[in-house]
């Protein structure tokens, strides 16, 4: 069995080929650079770029795996949620290949890919994948969600952001500090030289019930701190040390909020007798070493394992989409048996969706 997966929900075009065990035979990723100069992802440009990149990327990934298209048993693609143009391009491309070759197509939820990715990462590292039920904290440029993962297809969203996503907050704060876009990584580097206690920034929703997130008040507070330096020359007069203090204080506030919200999620699971095994994190913000360390500490205090995939499987990638397809097949009680046994061709008619709440993804099972 070999699955060829495509990811195209934002500005990354990905293609990966996995065997039935989840071993990656080849994977390719193209991050569109044209958006940086425009200060954010322009959906129409992204969709056209996916279309231009995909044929070459798929051909290269097959070549890297030493395979031809006919060697693929199943095609999978993100069919949502995401920027609709890109999702349409990638999923239609995969459906087209499936249809032409008479192979099954599997429609994969992008968020499902992210929350199952730590199981792929553990598998690749030769470890046992984190067992269900576990808590997944997804923090990317477009999403911030705390998800209880009870099994494949069995998800409960415990909280989400009520305004900006975590990555979006990092990017907006970074932009204000003159760090370019997407500035999350640069903000982390700058924060290392600053004092996290320099400024008492707000901690939105801290201590409140539930585990929703809010970051826009934090962003406004950063803007206010920068006002004295906001002249006609922009931020040119802002000393490096002052910028570093703001970055460090911002990062500290985000970390405090994340840990507080997770504490609530752990408490909620304990109150419902849900025996959590692991805290997993995913999404680009999970690349942040400071936050990673704080979240690992949180897991330790709650006596669960901590799992954070390496960066390339934390951010958008196609391997997690292929892995999610395999997980769904396994949950159907289907191991390495012939593809003829599959009844997934009907997913060819699954439409591309800009929004696709994770909980609408039905459970899998024999
Ligand atoms: P989507 O939200 O659709 O999943 P995305 O492309 O926005 O996709 P990712 O690629 O998972 O999301 O993550 C990108 C985000 O992660 C950006 O907002 C980026 O600034 C942020 N990010 C990356 N590295 C760091 C870091 N070291 N510290 C803070 N934020 C970071
Ligand atoms: Fe993503």
Instruction: Give tens-digit pLDDT for 178-209.
Output: 998 899 999 999 999 999 999 999 999 998 98
Query: What are the residues whose beta carbon lies below 5 Å from ligand 2 (ion)?
Result: 140, 316
pLDDT at 338: 45
Name the one residue in this structure whose structure tokens are 């040390």: 241
Residues forming a β-bridge with 288: none
What is the interface pTM, i.e. ipTM, of the complex? 0.97
Q: Is the CB of 10 under 6 A from ligand 1?
A: yes
Ligand in nearest proximity to the CA of 192: 1
Residue 91 CA to residue 71 CA, distance in Å, equals 19
Ligand 2 center to residue 284 CA distance, Å?
A: 8
Burial 312-339 (b: 16+ CB within 10 A, else e): ebbbbbbbbbbbbbbbbbebbebeeeeb
pLDDT at 39: 81
Question: What is the residue with the minimal CA distance to atom 29 of ligand 1?
Answer: 184
Q: Is the CB of 188 under 6 A from ligand 1?
A: yes
Burial 56-72 (b: 16+ CB within 10 A, else e): ebbeebbeebebeeeeb
Ligand 1 center to residue 62 CA distance, Å?
A: 28
Binding residues: 110, 114, 138-142, 171, 184, 188, 288, 316
pLDDT at 12: 95
Ligand 2 center to residue 316 CA distance, Å?
A: 5
Question: What is the residue with the minimal CA distance to atom 14 of ligand 1?
Answer: 284
pLDDT at 343: 56
Question: What is the residue with the minimal CA distance to atom 24 of ligand 1?
Answer: 185
Name the one residue in this structure whose structure tokens are 């990905």: 14
Q: pLDDT tens for residues 90-105?
A: 999 999 999 999 999 9
Report which ligand 1 atom has the smallest distance to the Cα of 141.
Answer: 7
Confidence (pTM): 0.94
Site to substitute for ligand 1 among 140, 180, 281, 317, most atoms within 8 A of C-beta: 140
Ligand 1 center to residue 276 CA distance, Å?
A: 26
What DSSP string describes 38-95? GTS--HHHHHHHHHHHHHHHHHHHHHHHT--GGG--EEEEEEESS-HHHHHHHHHHHH
The upper half-sphere exposure of residue 268, i.e. CA atoms within 13 Å in the direction of its Cβ, equals 20
pLDDT tens digits in sequence order for the chain, 366 residues long: 999 999 999 999 999 999 999 999 999 999 988 888 888 889 999 999 999 999 999 999 999 999 999 999 999 999 999 999 999 999 999 999 999 999 999 999 999 999 999 999 999 999 999 999 999 999 999 899 999 999 999 999 999 999 999 999 999 999 999 998 899 999 999 999 999 999 999 999 998 989 999 999 999 999 999 998 887 767 777 899 999 999 999 999 999 999 999 999 999 999 999 999 999 999 999 999 999 999 999 999 999 999 999 999 999 999 999 999 999 988 887 765 545 456 555 689 999 999 999 998 877 754
């Amino acid at each position: 069995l070999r699955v060829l997966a495509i990811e195209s929900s934002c500005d990354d075009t990905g293609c990966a080929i996995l065997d039935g065990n989840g071993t990656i035979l080849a994977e390719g990723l193209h991050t569109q650079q044209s958006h940086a100069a425009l200060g954010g992802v322009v959906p129409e440009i992204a969709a056209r770029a996916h279309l231009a990149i995909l044929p070459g990327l798929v051909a290269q990934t097959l070549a890297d795996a030493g395979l031809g298209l006919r060697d693929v048993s199943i095609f999978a693609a993100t069919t949502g949620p995401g920027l609709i143009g890109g999702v349409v391009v990638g999923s239609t491309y995969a459906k087209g290949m499936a249809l032409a070759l008479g192979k099954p197509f599997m429609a994969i939820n992008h968020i499902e890919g992210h929350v199952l990715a730590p199981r792929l990462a553990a598998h690749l590292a030769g470890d046992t994948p984190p067992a269900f039920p576990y808590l997944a904290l997804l923090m990317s440029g477009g999403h911030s969600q705390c998800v209880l993962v009870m099994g494949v297809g069995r998800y409960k969203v415990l909280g989400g952001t009520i305004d900006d996503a975590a990555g979006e907050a990092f990017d907006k704060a970074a932009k204000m500090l003159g760090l370019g876009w997407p500035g999350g990584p640069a903000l982390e580097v700058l924060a290392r030289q600053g004092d996290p206690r320099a400024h008492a920034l707000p901690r939105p929703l801290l201590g409140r019930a539930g585990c929703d997130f809010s970051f826009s008040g934090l962003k406004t507070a950063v803007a206010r701190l920068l006002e004295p330096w906001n002249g006609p020359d922009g931020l040119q007069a802002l000393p490096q040390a002052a910028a570093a203090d703001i970055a460090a204080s911002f990062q500290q506030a985000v970390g405090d909020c994340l840990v507080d919200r997770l504490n609530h999620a752990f408490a909620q699971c304990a109150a419902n007798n849900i025996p959590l095994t692991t805290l997993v994190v995913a999404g680009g913000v999970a690349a942040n070493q400071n936050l990673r360390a704080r979240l690992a500490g949180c897991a330790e205090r709650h006596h669960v394992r901590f799992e954070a995939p390496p960066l390339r499987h934390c951010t958008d990638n196609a391997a997690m989409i292929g892995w999610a397809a395999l997980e769904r097949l396994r949950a159907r009680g289907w191991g390495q048996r012939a593809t003829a046994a599959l009844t997934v061709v009907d997913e060819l008619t699954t439409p591309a969706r800009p929004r696709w709440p994770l909980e609408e993804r039905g459970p899998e099972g024999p």
